[in-house]
Structure 1
Amino acid sequence: MPPSLRRSARHARPVRSHGIVRTRLEEVHASEEPQRRPDVICVAVRFLSGRFHATPWDHHVNEGVPEWPISPWRMLRALTAALYTRCPELDRAVAEATLRKLVVPPLFTLPAASIGHTRHYLSSNTAKRTDAALTIDTFVALNHRDVIHVHWPVDLTDGERRALLMMAHGVSYLGRAESWCEIEVLDEADDRPEPNCAPLSEGGAASGSQSIRVLCPAESMRQADLERTTSSLQREGWNEPPGTRWVLYNRPGDALSPASSAVLATAQRPRPVVAELALGGSVLPLFTDAVLVAEQVRAAALSRHEAPSVTLSGKASDGDRLRDQHRHAHYLPDARGSGKRMSHVLVYAAAGFSGSEQAALARVSFLAQRHNRPTLDVVLSGFGDADDFRDVTPLFGVSTRWRSRTPFVLIRHPRRGQDAPRDQVARELRARGFPTPSEIIPIAGARLLDPSAGDSGVTRWIEFVMTRRGRGHPPGGFGFELVFPESVRGPILLGYGCHYGLGQFEALP
């Protein structure tokens, strides 16, 4: 597993608890001094995409049974992977001692969640293209802001706590690779909600709850058990991983309730205004072809929407163009990394996307390029607000200085003494509610490869495609650096073709 470092997650709101769980927490260290409250290590797990894809050990993937709560054995294996791949400076002896202490079955605080699934026909890698097997990918769906709290009733030294903190920050997913997550070890001063899922007590399951088997590490667990690969377990014929045990847990009866989670998501989540699509393929398109790719994404999204969409198309029901100050969709190709080739397409609409429009964008899975270029794979990365992408792309930054990233194409031909390129930029800014810049400085081209390079390192504006397919040639393309008297929040999209990737401005430090 290739985990990567992640930033800390925010804590979710407390979830109602079941009385039996509090009793269980007090019983874990019943043998200790009665005056001393046992230490509890609390770990917060947040799934960034709102999905947890994992199949319990004793079930086949096509049975459609999700793992919930997260198996402690799975968490310890993920921490072990982070130890070897992301924490080379960590003392192995201290880290392994920390993992051995976590063999105690933890308690969980589970947020509201539901079950979902997708169906895939996976190729059998034969010459016959239709030779495919149906695979059901079942997952637990929850609000991407909600947090699963894991309470381990153990005492850790300061060194062991630091080791756990470093390993937790090195875990980027749990279960299947698409279950992106952030894991944080909470401080003692942080709020900790009461557990609502705990090992079954001798009195049996509480009223309104259900008993489930959860795979936990055994007291006899060795470090080598955590390091075994799934292929080695299958090759050696193990029906259960060595160093594990099954523990019966008392889980709330409504822990996976479709009705409650659907109402919660509808009531609390506003319409997203940004959708991020990731591009893949053998050869990614050049960023200078932004207009061509933007048109293809728009056409693909409209073809997957069952009814005419004002937001996605930018046209009213009678076919006329909208006059609402550009609140409909902008299709914005984005180049990250080297900057020369497109890696993502951001779809931004100030009006927000409805549920059906979100579904249409999620169904865009490929783009068939023209002129015998290879087909592009498309994957929806997620939806969000403009602020959610501030640290992802400079298009949504906040700054007093902004620079053209794609050419600003004039809306009308300049006339003597009127409608000069600078005047058209200022007019476009006023029409979109931006303040008047104190300076509008012409620049020679886009700095795609090296922002610090001089004029020799820029991509000239004439190298960009500035005409939509089947349309006439616009008056011309220019680039500018804008300086505002106060910070301005992006995106800044101006001029002809601004809904198709032209006229982009990026925030400068």
Structure 2
Amino acid sequence: MLAIAFRFPGGRYHATPWGRHVNEAAVAWPPEPWRLLRALLAVWHRKLDPVRWPRAQLAALLDRLAAQPPQFHLPPSMPAHSRHYLPTRDKTTLVFDAFLRIETGQPVHAVWPTLELDAEQLELLDTLLDGLGYLGRAESWVEAVREAPPAGRQPDCVPVEAEADAENDGGGGDGGEMLRLLAARPAAGYAGFRSRALTEFGRARRIADTLPADWLDALAVETGALQKAGWNRPPAAIEIPYRRRPARPSAPRHDRRPGPAIDTVRYALYGRPLPRIEDAIRVGEWLRSTVLRACHPPVPALISGHDLPPGNPHAHAFWLAESAGGDGRIDHVLIHVPDGIPAGVFGVLADPGELREPARRRSAGDGDADDTDTRAWQLLPEWFGRAATPPDGDAGRLLGKATVWRSTTPYLHPWHVKRGFGAAEQIRRECRERGLAEPEVRELEHIEVAGRRLRPLDFHRFRRKPVAIQPDARGHALELRFPEPVSGPLALGFGCHFGLGVFGRGEG
């Protein structure tokens, strides 16, 4: 067996998957076998003496590593990102720098279970690992050494064929996410592929230039040249199906400190185009569905909203959308659980997956098949903590304390209107039931969004799953003035757990 441990002293791993734009904020995880071999090749070119370590010996070592896809033992991790405005010729561009936060000292183990190297190959490998300074992007400082994983621990990410063999032997097969990782073709496989490719379409000069005869040269072809030639993946690479078992995310930093339970997580939403604030209730429902799909049953009642104990109907999760940028597009979403987020779902909330619009049914004339051409957005965790103590800096309008709160989405009263029991009276009753002071309520003509004056009727105001009774289908735009500061997020009325009746901090 051969096993290599990769430790990241900076606690970060930056790597953009092949074919993805850096601003998509995706991270290639685990480190792909293709990336590992190219990193070792780069060390040989830059740091090793070719007389002491001949090129042929390097080729033989890398070919042995390419012949068998490795298994991976993965440490606890959490996706994170930073945002930067970079100047260009005539404007500034918002750039997302996504990375994986890894516990310092916790290694990634790449394991080749049946690979045995001779003494010279092991000496060369140790020299290459000693010279490896980073893996992925240059910010991903790495320390690499041959080291076996902990005894008795099963790998977290395995090739599908290897997993099938384990199932036949009575192990494995415990589910997980399917991935396709980029790996290097063995030298013999590349030679055959090159011959076929040159025969089929090698007359194009750019194609021929990216198919060198030497296998090491093929590994070293620059990504820009491959993309310019039109390759959808490097010709010296293949995709290998892997199964990654459910991640073991590291607990949020706030979770390790003593004090009240964490009740709020805020995400940046990334994708193009972003949803409109008019679709806030839809986004809230999609966010809930995303988290519930990622949770292992049984889902805690504070997350699902089902089977809650009597007496506190609003203790469970709120799924709220926010246009923090002020352009009318939903760029952030919040999950707020007033009674505290259950500890068992922190791992899911750290990496809930993509926020995806559900497939819509085709029209009657198109048959009953689902339309799978739906939109999806990346959820990038920005902050875990207490809503009463939001982070310093830009926390948006939904968090923080204020005496004045104004509608960001329409308020729909939850009870039927009667004489002396209109929207203002219902607001006051709901505030009393939640332990808040009774506010002064003023009706507004519209909701101001990016210079547009939106009426409540301009918003989507209905649940995807119809409810038996909806007392209000029109909605109101309101301003609430409390006698003392109130902490957000503040969401009241019908559909408030899914993004209706949301108020933002106001001035004055």
TM-score, length-scaled by structure 2: 0.48
TM-score, length-scaled by structure 1: 0.48
